Structure 1
Amino acid sequence: MSETCTVVAVGDLVLDEPDPEYYFAPSTHIFRSADVAVGHIEVPHSTSTVQASTDVPAPPADPKALEAVSDAGFDVVTLAGNHFYDVGTEGVLDTIEYSRRAGLKTAGGGANLAEAREPAVLEGGGLRVGVLSYNCVGPRESWAASQKAGAAYVKVLTHYELDSATPGGPPSIYTFATPDSLARMKSDIAALRDQVDVVAVALHKGIGHTPALLADYESPVSYAAIDAGADMIIGHHAHIMRGIEIYRGRPIFHGLGNFVTVTHALSPTGGDSAERREWADRRQKMFGFSPDPAMPSYPFHPESRNTAIATCSFDRGGLVRAGFVPCWIDDDARPVPLTADDRRAEGVVDYIEKISRTAGFATEFRRDGDVVVVTAPAAQQRIR
């Protein structure tokens, strides 16, 4: 009998409200039944209140909330993200320590860069699975260094080009990863490839709160990871779903959006710092939306209620099937997996297919029970 391992993954987790178990309750059956479940911890879990970031700082969440992540069925949490250093070294080390105390393996964060680059490795379904995690967005304070705690990262540069003779006019924007940081990521993946059967790479990337749009660097960095040996790419950060791309037969989930993301910190009346109050006002002007006042603990784009759980099956020959379970974030901010006979499921699937087409991907979507299978167009498919 062949060994098969199912890896499931979600996007951002923000557990900044009481009773986090309540928010996971509709979905725990999926994580507990998978061989490996991966989620991204978006904010520090610490008792520290020191503000170390010059960006919009996230308040630290209760360390005990990480026990709810483990109880929900998660095995690995990725940590490399823009808020990881928001309460400094203590927050970084606390988040790692409390995650591990809860029984979770961690990737992407450490007391120094060498530790942050170490993968999480575990067994599931008879296969060895390795997970790496990298932050592709700011602030730079979040990045680890040889003697500084923080996140593993891929450094992305932004170039503005004024294509018309109109000073002050809108520029074209180009983004790309620096060769040295890209090479570092690729060397980590190649080294892990020799140790495990499945390599999953999490990338904290993209343009926040903006439907469908991908920055220039996102596909090339994902391609580089797959060329180096990754079997699946797990994207998050934008707090809204992104399209799904297939490259060399491997799935790139460009952004899995929000999963359990509950907080009052970004509500206009709930921010506890001047920077957060300012951001709550500025966000509406930048991204053109205001949070639903009926959902004060969910201060995100209304389209972000469309979300998904990525699910990939592997055997010793590689990827067997890639897809997702469509989910809807209900009025209580709980992500609810939608079965094939749920009338809401078609709307979520249509949304994900639409944003994939908008991004220029020809990915094909096919129902297989409660899972939507994603494949490359027949003309692009290759025999494994």
Structure 2
Amino acid sequence: MSDPIDILFLGDIILDVPDPDHWLSGIAEVTRAADLVVGHLEVPHTLRGEELEGDVPAPGAEPAHLAALARANIGMVSMAGNHIADCGAIGIADTNAELDRLGIAHAGADADLSLARRPAVVERAGKRIALLSYNCVGPEISWATDSCAGSAYVQVAAADGGPSRPQADLIAADPASVARMQADIAAARRDADVLVVALHKGITHRPAELAPYERPLAHAAIEAGADVVVGHHAHIARGIEFHKGRPIFHGLGNGCVVTHALTPAQDHPARAEWAERRKTMFGFEPDPAYPLAPFHPEAVNGLIGRYRVHADGSVESGFLPIWFAPPGRPIVPEPAQAAVIGDYIDRIGVIAGLPVLSRERCGPWFRIESN
């Protein structure tokens, strides 16, 4: 009998400090053993471009750092997020060109909206695996149009009636925008054996809580034909649920985020102001042991999602607990700590109102299914 196909999912990836292979090395043994690893590329990798005004911009990362993804067997990335356009059209073009050179498939950000909405497709063991990627948090200035580069998106209304932006209280997805996403999914479904939909969504830096639009939007993706929905953006893990028997990882947390852009001690006024303001907004003080990943204290608990396709067509879902060692490097924890993280994932799901999952330990992994 043929071996199963293992597809793994990482959350946000930012590698804008030296030695990217070191920062990935704590999970690289796991990622290299998989058939396909899908991550979310949070920032552009470019040495050019002009800073996008109107949000808190991230700096462009070194293009050469993308090669570390290939060396860690990260073969596919979603890109539709709130920072991918921070260096403008040039930043997106440079990033895509380097990903193409490295053979890393990508979806979600391109020279115009039609290109950004196209699925990325790879083949593993005769199976076609497709990825669609959508930014659900704004800012609207980062969205692609028919004539401008940016990200694919689902428009989500803010409670105050203002524009969609990451710091807004986002409450409900626009029905027409959801319908466009569902049409993309239905079209990609026709040629894919496995279809993954990545949603950049949620409330940053706040434990457990899901915004009102998150579950309905993820359910809509499943109902249109997605096999798996993966979420990122919050920089802290979220719970997991099943809809129509298919897994939704509401928030993978950080995959590997190491950056100086979020530390208060810096020269960039907007980034320094945001680093201070988010302490008040979200009620936490970053641990000084994590200068490269100054997130909520609970963000040290993370996970790698798994979707396994067996030769007979049956599937199983699961996750691997990961922990972030100071100053921000993801590692596979010892069994006792992994069990604690597994309990944490269960607990935040219950707090968020998600159904309780059945969870079984299989070596370092947890196999999960709906009760």
Q: TM-score, normalised by structure 1?
A: 0.91
1:262 to 249, 258, 278: 258
- 1:275 corresponds to which residue? 270
For residue 235 of structure 1, what is the amino acid of its counterpart? G
- Asked if the contact 1:211–1:355 (Cα under 8 Å) also holds between the matched residues in 2, the reply is yes
Hey, what's the Cα distance between the residues in 1 that align with 2:309 and 2:172? 31
- 2:235 corresponds to which residue? 239
For residue 154 of structure 1, what is the amino acid of its counterpart? V
Hey, what's the Cα distance between the residues in 1 that align with 2:241 and 2:352? 9
Hey, what's the Cα distance between the residues in 2 that align with 1:317 and 1:277? 53
Hey, what's the Cα distance between the residues in 1 that align with 2:24 and 2:74? 11
Provide the secondary structure at the position in 2 that maps to 1:223: helix
- Asked if the contact 2:45–2:62 (Cα under 8 Å) also holds between the matched residues in 1, the reply is yes
Counterparts of residues 113-152 of structure 1 (less than 5 Å):
113-152=113-152
CA apart distance, 1:319: 5.1
Hey, what's the Cα distance between the residues in 2 that align with 1:319 and 1:224? 23
Provide the secondary structure at the position in 2 that maps to 1:134: strand
Hey, what's the Cα distance between the residues in 2 that align with 1:126 and 1:374? 26
CA apart distance, 1:288: 1.0
For residue 236 of structure 1, what is the amino acid of its counterpart? H
CA apart distance, 1:318: 5.0
Q: Which consecutive residues of structure 2, in runs of 5 or more, have no partner in the other structure?
A: 162-168
CA apart distance, 1:316: 6.6
Over the matched positions of the two proteins, sequence identity in percent amounts to 47
CA apart distance, 1:2: 4.8
Provide the secondary structure at the position in 2 that maps to 1:77: strand
For residue 344 of structure 1, what is the amino acid of its counterpart? Q
- 1:217 corresponds to which residue? 213
Q: Deviations over 1:156-213 (max 9, x none)?
A: 012359xxxxxxxxxxx67111111111111111111110110001000000000000
Q: Deviations over 1:329-375 (max 9, x none)?
A: 11242111235xx2211111111110011111222222122111111
- 2:27 corresponds to which residue? 27
Hey, what's the Cα distance between the residues in 2 that align with 1:319 and 1:357? 27
- 1:313 corresponds to which residue? 308
1:344 to 313, 325, 337: 337
For residue 246 of structure 1, what is the amino acid of its counterpart? F
1:181 to 177, 183, 188: 177
1:140 to 1:174, Cα distance in 2 relative to 1, 3 A: closer
Hey, what's the Cα distance between the residues in 2 that align with 1:130 and 1:44? 22
Provide the secondary structure at the position in 1 that maps to 2:63: coil
Q: Which consecutive residues of structure 1, in runs of 5 or more, have no partner in the other structure?
A: 162-172, 378-384
CA apart distance, 1:126: 2.6
Hey, what's the Cα distance between the residues in 2 that align with 1:147 and 1:215? 31
Hey, what's the Cα distance between the residues in 2 that align with 1:18 and 1:181? 39
For residue 147 of structure 2, what is the amino acid of its counterpart? Q
Aligned-pair RMSD on alpha carbons? Answer: 1.5
Counterparts of residues 85-124 of structure 1 (less than 5 Å):
85-124=85-124
- 2:165 corresponds to which residue? none
CA apart distance, 1:237: 0.1
Provide the secondary structure at the position in 2 that maps to 1:18: coil
Provide the secondary structure at the position in 2 that maps to 1:53: coil
Q: TM-score, normalised by structure 2?
A: 0.94
- Asked if the contact 2:79–2:108 (Cα under 8 Å) also holds between the matched residues in 1, the reply is yes
Hey, what's the Cα distance between the residues in 2 that align with 1:315 and 1:368? 16
